[in-house]
Amino acid sequence: MRHGRAALAVSFFAQGALFALLVTRIPAIQDRYGIGDGLLPVFLAAVPILAGVGSVGTEKLVARVRPSVVLRWVQPVVALVLLGLGAGNRMWVAAVTLALFGVCVGGLDASMNMLGVSLQRAYGRSIMLGFHAAYSLGGIVGSVLAWSGAHWHISLVAIYGPAVLVLIPLTLVASRWYRDADDGPHGAHGKQAPSRQHSQQDPQEQPKAAVPVVMRLLLPLCLVMSFAYIGDSTVSNWSAKYLQDTLHSSEQLSTVPYAVYMVTTLLGRSVGDFGVRRFGAVAVVRLGTVVAVAGFAVVAVAPGAWVGMLGFTLLGFGLCVIVPQTFAAAGRLFPTASDAAIARLNVFNYVGFLVGSPLVGALGDAWSYRGAMLVPMLLVAATLYYAKSFDAGPAGYGVGHERPSTVDVG
Protein backbone atom coordinates (compact mmCIF):
# COMPACT_ATOMS: atom_id res chain seq x y z
CA MET A 1 0.00 0.00 0.00
CA ARG A 2 2.91 2.36 0.66
CA HIS A 3 4.09 1.90 -2.92
CA GLY A 4 0.58 2.48 -4.19
CA ARG A 5 0.30 5.65 -2.13
CA ALA A 6 3.59 7.06 -3.42
CA ALA A 7 2.76 6.14 -7.01
CA LEU A 8 -0.61 7.86 -6.84
CA ALA A 9 0.99 10.96 -5.34
CA VAL A 10 3.24 11.09 -8.42
CA SER A 11 0.14 11.00 -10.62
CA PHE A 12 -1.50 13.84 -8.68
CA PHE A 13 1.72 15.86 -8.93
CA ALA A 14 1.93 15.35 -12.69
CA GLN A 15 -1.69 16.33 -13.20
CA GLY A 16 -1.22 19.52 -11.18
CA ALA A 17 1.79 20.47 -13.28
CA LEU A 18 0.09 19.72 -16.62
CA PHE A 19 -3.05 21.65 -15.73
CA ALA A 20 -1.05 24.65 -14.51
CA LEU A 21 0.98 24.66 -17.73
CA LEU A 22 -2.28 24.99 -19.64
CA VAL A 23 -4.24 27.53 -17.61
CA THR A 24 -1.33 29.88 -16.88
CA ARG A 25 -0.44 30.16 -20.57
CA ILE A 26 -3.92 30.85 -21.95
CA PRO A 27 -2.87 34.34 -23.24
CA ALA A 28 0.06 32.80 -25.16
CA ILE A 29 -2.21 30.09 -26.61
CA GLN A 30 -4.71 32.76 -27.62
CA ASP A 31 -1.99 34.74 -29.42
CA ARG A 32 -0.51 31.67 -31.11
CA TYR A 33 -3.82 30.60 -32.64
CA GLY A 34 -5.30 34.07 -33.16
CA ILE A 35 -8.30 33.31 -30.96
CA GLY A 36 -10.31 36.50 -30.46
CA ASP A 37 -11.61 37.68 -27.10
CA GLY A 38 -15.16 36.86 -28.16
CA LEU A 39 -14.27 33.28 -29.14
CA LEU A 40 -11.93 32.53 -26.21
CA PRO A 41 -14.73 31.96 -23.64
CA VAL A 42 -16.21 29.32 -25.97
CA PHE A 43 -12.94 27.42 -26.05
CA LEU A 44 -12.46 27.75 -22.29
CA ALA A 45 -16.03 26.67 -21.50
CA ALA A 46 -15.72 23.61 -23.73
CA VAL A 47 -12.90 22.17 -21.60
CA PRO A 48 -14.85 21.72 -18.32
CA ILE A 49 -18.01 20.65 -20.21
CA LEU A 50 -16.11 17.89 -22.02
CA ALA A 51 -14.30 17.02 -18.81
CA GLY A 52 -17.69 16.32 -17.27
CA VAL A 53 -18.46 14.04 -20.22
CA GLY A 54 -15.15 12.29 -19.65
CA SER A 55 -15.93 11.78 -15.98
CA VAL A 56 -19.32 10.24 -16.77
CA GLY A 57 -17.70 8.02 -19.38
CA THR A 58 -15.15 6.87 -16.82
CA GLU A 59 -17.96 5.65 -14.57
CA LYS A 60 -19.04 3.31 -17.38
CA LEU A 61 -15.47 2.32 -18.26
CA VAL A 62 -14.43 1.27 -14.75
CA ALA A 63 -17.29 -1.23 -14.69
CA ARG A 64 -15.16 -3.23 -17.15
CA VAL A 65 -11.54 -2.32 -16.35
CA ARG A 66 -9.80 -1.18 -13.21
CA PRO A 67 -9.41 2.55 -12.48
CA SER A 68 -5.63 2.01 -12.43
CA VAL A 69 -5.75 0.92 -16.09
CA VAL A 70 -7.71 4.04 -17.04
CA LEU A 71 -5.30 6.28 -15.14
CA ARG A 72 -2.20 4.54 -16.50
CA TRP A 73 -3.07 5.28 -20.12
CA VAL A 74 -5.09 8.48 -19.98
CA GLN A 75 -2.39 10.48 -18.18
CA PRO A 76 0.21 10.16 -20.98
CA VAL A 77 -2.51 11.08 -23.47
CA VAL A 78 -3.22 14.31 -21.56
CA ALA A 79 0.49 15.17 -21.68
CA LEU A 80 0.75 14.46 -25.41
CA VAL A 81 -2.38 16.49 -26.13
CA LEU A 82 -0.88 19.45 -24.24
CA LEU A 83 2.29 19.15 -26.32
CA GLY A 84 0.19 19.05 -29.49
CA LEU A 85 -1.58 22.22 -28.38
CA GLY A 86 1.76 23.97 -27.92
CA ALA A 87 3.09 22.80 -31.30
CA GLY A 88 0.07 23.60 -33.50
CA ASN A 89 -0.75 26.87 -35.19
CA ARG A 90 -4.17 26.38 -36.81
CA MET A 91 -7.55 26.98 -35.26
CA TRP A 92 -8.77 23.43 -35.83
CA VAL A 93 -5.73 22.11 -33.96
CA ALA A 94 -6.64 24.26 -30.95
CA ALA A 95 -10.25 23.04 -31.10
CA VAL A 96 -9.32 19.35 -31.35
CA THR A 97 -6.56 19.39 -28.73
CA LEU A 98 -8.59 21.36 -26.18
CA ALA A 99 -11.54 19.01 -26.71
CA LEU A 100 -9.33 15.96 -26.21
CA PHE A 101 -7.72 17.60 -23.19
CA GLY A 102 -11.13 18.16 -21.61
CA VAL A 103 -12.38 14.60 -22.15
CA CYS A 104 -9.13 13.03 -20.95
CA VAL A 105 -8.81 15.29 -17.92
CA GLY A 106 -12.29 14.20 -16.83
CA GLY A 107 -11.20 10.57 -16.92
CA LEU A 108 -7.90 11.42 -15.26
CA ASP A 109 -9.43 13.34 -12.36
CA ALA A 110 -12.08 10.69 -11.78
CA SER A 111 -9.73 7.70 -11.86
CA MET A 112 -7.13 9.41 -9.65
CA ASN A 113 -9.67 10.14 -6.96
CA MET A 114 -11.17 6.65 -7.25
CA LEU A 115 -7.78 5.18 -6.43
CA GLY A 116 -7.24 7.73 -3.66
CA VAL A 117 -10.52 6.88 -1.96
CA SER A 118 -9.93 3.13 -2.20
CA LEU A 119 -6.43 3.53 -0.77
CA GLN A 120 -7.78 5.63 2.10
CA ARG A 121 -10.30 2.89 2.84
CA ALA A 122 -7.51 0.31 2.87
CA TYR A 123 -5.39 2.43 5.18
CA GLY A 124 -8.32 3.06 7.51
CA ARG A 125 -7.28 6.66 8.11
CA SER A 126 -7.31 9.97 6.27
CA ILE A 127 -4.66 10.26 3.53
CA MET A 128 -6.71 11.97 0.82
CA LEU A 129 -5.47 15.49 1.57
CA GLY A 130 -1.91 14.34 1.00
CA PHE A 131 -2.69 13.39 -2.60
CA HIS A 132 -4.21 16.80 -3.24
CA ALA A 133 -1.17 18.40 -1.61
CA ALA A 134 0.91 16.68 -4.31
CA TYR A 135 -1.46 18.19 -6.89
CA SER A 136 -0.89 21.66 -5.39
CA LEU A 137 2.88 21.12 -5.49
CA GLY A 138 2.63 20.13 -9.14
CA GLY A 139 0.57 23.25 -9.79
CA ILE A 140 3.27 25.42 -8.24
CA VAL A 141 6.00 23.75 -10.33
CA GLY A 142 3.91 24.10 -13.49
CA SER A 143 3.21 27.76 -12.73
CA VAL A 144 6.91 28.48 -12.22
CA LEU A 145 7.75 26.81 -15.54
CA ALA A 146 5.02 28.81 -17.27
CA TRP A 147 6.27 32.04 -15.68
CA SER A 148 9.79 31.26 -16.88
CA GLY A 149 8.51 30.74 -20.40
CA ALA A 150 6.66 34.02 -20.35
CA HIS A 151 9.54 35.94 -18.77
CA TRP A 152 12.16 34.76 -21.25
CA HIS A 153 9.76 34.56 -24.19
CA ILE A 154 10.22 30.83 -24.66
CA SER A 155 7.82 29.17 -27.09
CA LEU A 156 5.04 26.94 -25.83
CA VAL A 157 6.46 23.82 -27.44
CA ALA A 158 9.88 24.51 -25.86
CA ILE A 159 8.26 24.65 -22.42
CA TYR A 160 5.77 21.82 -22.89
CA GLY A 161 8.21 19.45 -24.62
CA PRO A 162 10.70 18.91 -21.78
CA ALA A 163 7.88 18.76 -19.22
CA VAL A 164 6.13 16.02 -21.20
CA LEU A 165 9.39 14.12 -21.74
CA VAL A 166 9.87 14.00 -17.97
CA LEU A 167 6.28 13.44 -16.82
CA ILE A 168 5.24 10.65 -19.20
CA PRO A 169 8.05 8.22 -18.23
CA LEU A 170 7.65 9.22 -14.58
CA THR A 171 3.93 8.41 -14.48
CA LEU A 172 4.28 5.24 -16.55
CA VAL A 173 6.92 3.90 -14.16
CA ALA A 174 4.84 4.90 -11.15
CA SER A 175 1.75 3.24 -12.64
CA ARG A 176 3.32 -0.16 -11.99
CA TRP A 177 2.43 0.29 -8.30
CA TYR A 178 -1.09 1.71 -8.60
CA ARG A 179 -3.35 -0.13 -6.18
CA ASP A 180 -7.01 -0.77 -6.90
CA ALA A 181 -9.69 -1.43 -4.33
CA ASP A 182 -9.81 -5.15 -5.09
CA ASP A 183 -6.05 -5.73 -5.18
CA GLY A 184 -4.56 -8.20 -2.77
CA PRO A 185 -2.03 -7.21 -0.11
CA HIS A 186 0.74 -7.09 -2.73
CA GLY A 187 -1.20 -5.03 -5.29
CA ALA A 188 -1.84 -5.66 -8.95
CA HIS A 189 1.61 -4.48 -10.12
CA GLY A 190 0.13 -3.07 -13.27
CA LYS A 191 -1.80 -6.13 -14.39
CA GLN A 192 -5.34 -5.68 -15.59
CA ALA A 193 -7.96 -7.46 -13.53
CA PRO A 194 -10.72 -9.53 -15.08
CA SER A 195 -13.93 -7.71 -15.88
CA ARG A 196 -15.64 -6.62 -12.67
CA GLN A 197 -18.92 -7.85 -14.01
CA HIS A 198 -17.50 -11.36 -14.44
CA SER A 199 -15.07 -11.64 -11.52
CA GLN A 200 -15.75 -14.26 -8.90
CA GLN A 201 -17.01 -12.94 -5.59
CA ASP A 202 -18.27 -14.31 -2.35
CA PRO A 203 -22.02 -14.89 -2.81
CA GLN A 204 -22.66 -13.02 0.43
CA GLU A 205 -21.04 -9.92 -1.10
CA GLN A 206 -23.18 -9.89 -4.24
CA PRO A 207 -26.07 -7.85 -2.79
CA LYS A 208 -23.64 -5.22 -1.49
CA ALA A 209 -21.95 -4.89 -4.88
CA ALA A 210 -25.30 -4.25 -6.52
CA VAL A 211 -26.22 -1.24 -4.33
CA PRO A 212 -26.58 1.75 -6.72
CA VAL A 213 -25.54 5.34 -6.11
CA VAL A 214 -28.55 7.33 -4.90
CA MET A 215 -28.19 10.88 -6.21
CA ARG A 216 -30.51 12.22 -3.51
CA LEU A 217 -27.94 11.16 -0.91
CA LEU A 218 -24.97 12.31 -2.99
CA LEU A 219 -26.49 15.71 -3.83
CA PRO A 220 -25.28 17.58 -0.69
CA LEU A 221 -21.70 16.61 -1.52
CA CYS A 222 -22.24 17.61 -5.15
CA LEU A 223 -23.35 21.06 -4.04
CA VAL A 224 -20.38 21.42 -1.70
CA MET A 225 -18.04 20.44 -4.55
CA SER A 226 -19.59 23.08 -6.82
CA PHE A 227 -19.40 25.78 -4.13
CA ALA A 228 -15.74 24.98 -3.42
CA TYR A 229 -14.79 25.23 -7.09
CA ILE A 230 -16.74 28.45 -7.52
CA GLY A 231 -14.55 29.83 -4.76
CA ASP A 232 -11.41 28.36 -6.29
CA SER A 233 -12.15 29.68 -9.77
CA THR A 234 -12.84 33.12 -8.31
CA VAL A 235 -9.31 33.22 -6.93
CA SER A 236 -7.63 31.78 -10.01
CA ASN A 237 -9.46 34.00 -12.51
CA TRP A 238 -10.10 37.24 -10.66
CA SER A 239 -7.48 37.73 -7.93
CA ALA A 240 -5.01 39.56 -10.18
CA LYS A 241 -7.66 41.82 -11.73
CA TYR A 242 -9.22 42.52 -8.33
CA LEU A 243 -5.92 43.56 -6.77
CA GLN A 244 -4.92 45.75 -9.70
CA ASP A 245 -8.24 47.39 -10.64
CA THR A 246 -10.10 47.50 -7.31
CA LEU A 247 -7.29 47.70 -4.75
CA HIS A 248 -4.97 49.68 -7.07
CA SER A 249 -1.89 47.51 -6.71
CA SER A 250 1.01 47.46 -9.14
CA GLU A 251 0.95 45.00 -12.04
CA GLN A 252 3.77 43.00 -10.45
CA LEU A 253 2.03 42.72 -7.09
CA SER A 254 -1.22 41.66 -8.74
CA THR A 255 0.43 38.40 -9.85
CA VAL A 256 1.29 37.42 -6.27
CA PRO A 257 -2.13 36.42 -4.77
CA TYR A 258 -2.59 33.31 -6.88
CA ALA A 259 0.95 32.14 -6.12
CA VAL A 260 0.30 32.70 -2.41
CA TYR A 261 -3.02 30.88 -2.73
CA MET A 262 -1.30 27.85 -4.28
CA VAL A 263 1.35 27.78 -1.56
CA THR A 264 -1.26 27.97 1.21
CA THR A 265 -3.29 25.16 -0.36
CA LEU A 266 -0.12 23.06 -0.35
CA LEU A 267 0.60 23.86 3.29
CA GLY A 268 -3.00 23.30 4.39
CA ARG A 269 -3.32 19.98 2.60
CA SER A 270 0.07 18.81 3.86
CA VAL A 271 -1.13 18.95 7.47
CA GLY A 272 -4.87 18.50 6.88
CA ASP A 273 -4.86 14.70 7.19
CA PHE A 274 -3.50 15.00 10.73
CA GLY A 275 -6.41 17.29 11.61
CA VAL A 276 -8.93 14.85 10.16
CA ARG A 277 -7.42 11.97 12.13
CA ARG A 278 -7.45 14.00 15.32
CA PHE A 279 -10.75 15.87 15.13
CA GLY A 280 -12.73 14.17 12.35
CA ALA A 281 -13.72 15.29 8.87
CA VAL A 282 -16.74 17.34 9.97
CA ALA A 283 -14.70 19.58 12.26
CA VAL A 284 -11.99 20.11 9.63
CA VAL A 285 -14.50 20.97 6.89
CA ARG A 286 -16.32 23.38 9.20
CA LEU A 287 -13.09 25.10 10.19
CA GLY A 288 -11.98 25.33 6.56
CA THR A 289 -15.33 26.80 5.58
CA VAL A 290 -15.19 29.45 8.31
CA VAL A 291 -11.64 30.41 7.31
CA ALA A 292 -12.64 30.61 3.62
CA VAL A 293 -15.66 32.78 4.42
CA ALA A 294 -13.44 35.06 6.48
CA GLY A 295 -11.03 35.24 3.54
CA PHE A 296 -13.74 36.37 1.12
CA ALA A 297 -14.97 38.92 3.67
CA VAL A 298 -11.47 40.37 4.09
CA VAL A 299 -11.05 40.55 0.31
CA ALA A 300 -14.41 42.32 -0.09
CA VAL A 301 -13.68 45.04 2.49
CA ALA A 302 -9.91 45.34 2.02
CA PRO A 303 -8.75 48.98 1.96
CA GLY A 304 -5.57 48.14 0.11
CA ALA A 305 -3.59 45.51 -1.72
CA TRP A 306 -1.78 44.00 1.28
CA VAL A 307 -5.00 43.42 3.21
CA GLY A 308 -6.45 41.89 0.06
CA MET A 309 -3.43 39.56 -0.05
CA LEU A 310 -4.25 38.49 3.50
CA GLY A 311 -7.76 37.61 2.38
CA PHE A 312 -6.52 35.44 -0.50
CA THR A 313 -4.10 33.76 1.89
CA LEU A 314 -6.99 32.83 4.19
CA LEU A 315 -8.91 31.53 1.18
CA GLY A 316 -6.08 29.13 0.39
CA PHE A 317 -5.99 27.73 3.90
CA GLY A 318 -9.79 27.44 4.03
CA LEU A 319 -10.77 26.04 0.63
CA CYS A 320 -7.90 23.54 0.41
CA VAL A 321 -9.50 20.97 2.74
CA ILE A 322 -13.01 20.91 1.28
CA VAL A 323 -12.56 19.18 -2.09
CA PRO A 324 -10.41 16.23 -0.91
CA GLN A 325 -12.77 15.61 2.00
CA THR A 326 -15.77 15.73 -0.34
CA PHE A 327 -14.31 12.89 -2.42
CA ALA A 328 -13.50 10.96 0.75
CA ALA A 329 -17.04 11.46 2.09
CA ALA A 330 -18.54 10.11 -1.14
CA GLY A 331 -16.40 7.00 -0.80
CA ARG A 332 -17.63 6.46 2.75
CA LEU A 333 -21.24 7.13 1.80
CA PHE A 334 -21.20 4.48 -0.95
CA PRO A 335 -18.47 2.03 0.08
CA THR A 336 -19.58 -0.64 -2.41
CA ALA A 337 -20.07 1.80 -5.29
CA SER A 338 -17.44 4.43 -4.55
CA ASP A 339 -16.07 4.53 -8.12
CA ALA A 340 -19.47 5.45 -9.55
CA ALA A 341 -20.11 7.97 -6.76
CA ILE A 342 -16.76 9.69 -7.33
CA ALA A 343 -17.23 9.82 -11.11
CA ARG A 344 -20.59 11.56 -10.65
CA LEU A 345 -19.30 13.85 -7.91
CA ASN A 346 -16.34 14.83 -10.08
CA VAL A 347 -18.72 16.30 -12.66
CA PHE A 348 -19.63 19.02 -10.15
CA ASN A 349 -15.97 19.98 -9.96
CA TYR A 350 -16.39 21.24 -13.54
CA VAL A 351 -19.82 22.73 -12.84
CA GLY A 352 -18.27 24.98 -10.21
CA PHE A 353 -15.34 25.82 -12.45
CA LEU A 354 -17.68 26.65 -15.33
CA VAL A 355 -20.06 28.78 -13.24
CA GLY A 356 -17.64 30.58 -10.93
CA SER A 357 -15.63 32.78 -13.24
CA PRO A 358 -18.52 34.07 -15.44
CA LEU A 359 -20.69 34.62 -12.36
CA VAL A 360 -18.15 36.85 -10.61
CA GLY A 361 -17.30 38.63 -13.85
CA ALA A 362 -20.93 39.41 -14.67
CA LEU A 363 -21.66 40.64 -11.14
CA GLY A 364 -18.47 42.70 -11.11
CA ASP A 365 -19.34 44.45 -14.36
CA ALA A 366 -22.99 45.00 -13.45
CA TRP A 367 -22.46 45.90 -9.77
CA SER A 368 -18.96 45.98 -8.27
CA TYR A 369 -16.18 43.50 -7.78
CA ARG A 370 -16.28 44.05 -4.04
CA GLY A 371 -19.93 43.06 -4.03
CA ALA A 372 -19.25 40.18 -6.41
CA MET A 373 -16.89 38.62 -3.84
CA LEU A 374 -19.81 38.24 -1.44
CA VAL A 375 -21.60 35.76 -3.73
CA PRO A 376 -18.94 33.00 -3.63
CA MET A 377 -18.57 33.79 0.07
CA LEU A 378 -22.25 32.98 0.69
CA LEU A 379 -22.11 29.86 -1.49
CA VAL A 380 -19.06 28.53 0.33
CA ALA A 381 -20.74 29.38 3.65
CA ALA A 382 -23.56 26.98 2.71
CA THR A 383 -21.05 24.17 3.29
CA LEU A 384 -21.66 24.66 7.01
CA TYR A 385 -25.26 23.53 6.46
CA TYR A 386 -24.11 20.37 4.68
CA ALA A 387 -21.18 19.62 7.00
CA LYS A 388 -22.91 16.63 8.60
CA SER A 389 -22.65 14.88 5.22
CA PHE A 390 -18.93 14.50 5.99
CA ASP A 391 -19.62 12.54 9.17
CA ALA A 392 -17.63 9.32 9.06
CA GLY A 393 -19.97 7.52 11.44
CA PRO A 394 -18.64 4.60 13.42
CA ALA A 395 -15.98 3.78 10.84
CA GLY A 396 -14.46 7.21 10.53
CA TYR A 397 -10.99 8.59 10.78
CA GLY A 398 -9.07 10.27 13.55
CA VAL A 399 -8.50 9.81 17.25
CA GLY A 400 -11.87 8.93 18.60
CA HIS A 401 -13.00 8.47 15.00
CA GLU A 402 -10.47 6.03 13.55
CA ARG A 403 -11.14 2.35 13.05
CA PRO A 404 -9.24 -0.08 15.29
CA SER A 405 -6.20 -1.40 13.47
CA THR A 406 -7.37 -5.00 14.05
CA VAL A 407 -10.47 -4.53 11.92
CA ASP A 408 -10.34 -5.89 8.38
CA VAL A 409 -10.49 -2.69 6.31
CA GLY A 410 -9.91 -4.36 2.92
pLDDT tens string 198-238: 444 444 444 444 468 999 999 999 999 999 999 999 998 89
* Average pLDDT over the chain, rounded to an integer: 88
Phi/psi of residue 142, nearest 5 degrees: -65, -40
Q: 353 with 265, same domain?
A: yes
Q: Do the domain assignments include residue 74?
A: yes
pLDDT band at residue 395, thresholds of 50, 70 and 90?
very low
Longest Cα–Cα distance in the chain: 67
Q: Quick one: average pLDDT of 322-340?
A: 95
- pLDDT (0 to 100) of residue 44: 86
Kindly provide the residue ranges of all beta strands, DSSP E only, lying in 178-280, ordered along the sequence.
none
State which of 178, 202, 236 marks the end of a domain.
Answer: 178
Task: Evaluate whether 178 touches 4 at the Cβ level (below 8 Å).
Answer: yes
- pLDDT (0 to 100) of residue 26: 86
- pLDDT (0 to 100) of residue 236: 86
Q: 172 with 254, same domain?
A: no
Cα separation of 258 and 260, whole Å?
A: 5
Task: Evaluate whether 266 touches 279 at the Cβ level (below 8 Å).
Answer: no
Cα separation of 320 and 228, whole Å?
A: 9
pLDDT greater than 90 at residue 400: no
How many structural domains does the chain have?
2
pLDDT greater than 50 at residue 27: yes
pLDDT greater than 60 at residue 51: yes
Q: What is the pLDDT of residues 379-389, one digit of tens each?
A: 999 999 999 99
Cα separation of 316 and 102, whole Å?
A: 25
Q: 164 with 250, same domain?
A: no
Q: 166 with 219, same domain?
A: no
Q: Quick one: average pLDDT of 343-347?
A: 97
- pLDDT (0 to 100) of residue 205: 41
Q: Range with the lowest mean pLDDT among 93-97, 253-257, 302-306, 348-352? A: 253-257
- pLDDT (0 to 100) of residue 107: 97
pLDDT greater than 50 at residue 405: no
Q: 147 with 256, same domain?
A: no
Q: Do the domain assignments include residue 196?
A: no
- pLDDT (0 to 100) of residue 183: 67
The single-letter DSSP state of residue 178 is -
Within its chain, how far is the Cα of 387 from the centroid? 20
Sequence-distant (6+) residues with CB within 8 A of 11 are 71, 75, 112, 171, 174, 175, 178
- pLDDT (0 to 100) of residue 189: 37
Q: Please report, for the domain that includes residue 7, its CATH number.
A: 1.20.1250.20
pLDDT band at residue 257, thresholds of 50, 70 and 90?
confident
Q: Do the domain assignments include residue 279?
A: yes
Q: 294-331 as b/e, with b when 16 or more CB fall inside 10 Å?
A: bbbbbbbebeebeebbbbbbbbbbbbbbbbbbbbbbbb
Q: 27 with 151, same domain?
A: yes
Q: Do the domain assignments include residue 193?
A: no
Q: Quick one: average pLDDT of 58-73?
A: 96
- pLDDT (0 to 100) of residue 30: 87
Q: 47-81 as b/e, with b when 16 or more CB fall inside 10 Å?
A: bbbbbbbbbbbbbebbeebbbbbbbbebbbbbbbb
Cα separation of 198 and 195, whole Å?
A: 5
Q: 172 with 229, same domain?
A: no
Q: 138 with 229, same domain?
A: no
Cα separation of 326 and 138, whole Å?
A: 21
Q: Do the domain assignments include residue 195?
A: no
- Residue 12: how many CB atoms within 10 A of its CB? 23
The single-letter DSSP state of residue 179 is -
Cα separation of 182 and 353, whole Å?
A: 32
**Between 16 and 397, whose confidence is greater?**
16
The listed range with the strongest mean pLDDT (6-10, 353-357, 400-404) is 6-10
Q: 40 with 139, same domain?
A: yes
pLDDT greater than 90 at residue 407: no
Q: 229 with 373, same domain?
A: yes
**Domain range enclosing 64:** 1-178
Instruction: Tell me the whole-structure pTM to 2 decimals.
Output: 0.87
Q: What is the pLDDT of residues 87-101, one digit of tens each?
A: 999 999 999 999 999
Q: What is the pLDDT of residues 160-208, one digit of tens each?
A: 999 999 999 999 999 999 999 876 543 433 344 444 444 444 444 444 4
Torsion angle of alpha carbons 57, 3, 7, 405, nearest 10°?
Answer: 60
- pLDDT (0 to 100) of residue 126: 95
Q: What is the pLDDT of residues 280-302, one digit of tens each?
A: 999 999 999 999 999 999 999 99
Q: 358 with 255, same domain?
A: yes
Q: Do the domain assignments include residue 409?
A: no
Cα separation of 61 and 92, whole Å?
A: 28
Look at residues 398, 396, 401, 373 and name the one whose alpha carbon lies nearest to residue 315. 373
Task: Evaluate whether 206 touches 352 at the Cβ level (below 8 Å).
Answer: no
- pLDDT (0 to 100) of residue 393: 58
Q: Do the domain assignments include residue 251?
A: yes
Q: 164 with 256, same domain?
A: no
Q: Quick one: average pLDDT of 324-349?
A: 95
Q: Do the domain assignments include residue 205?
A: no
Cα separation of 175 and 11, whole Å?
A: 8
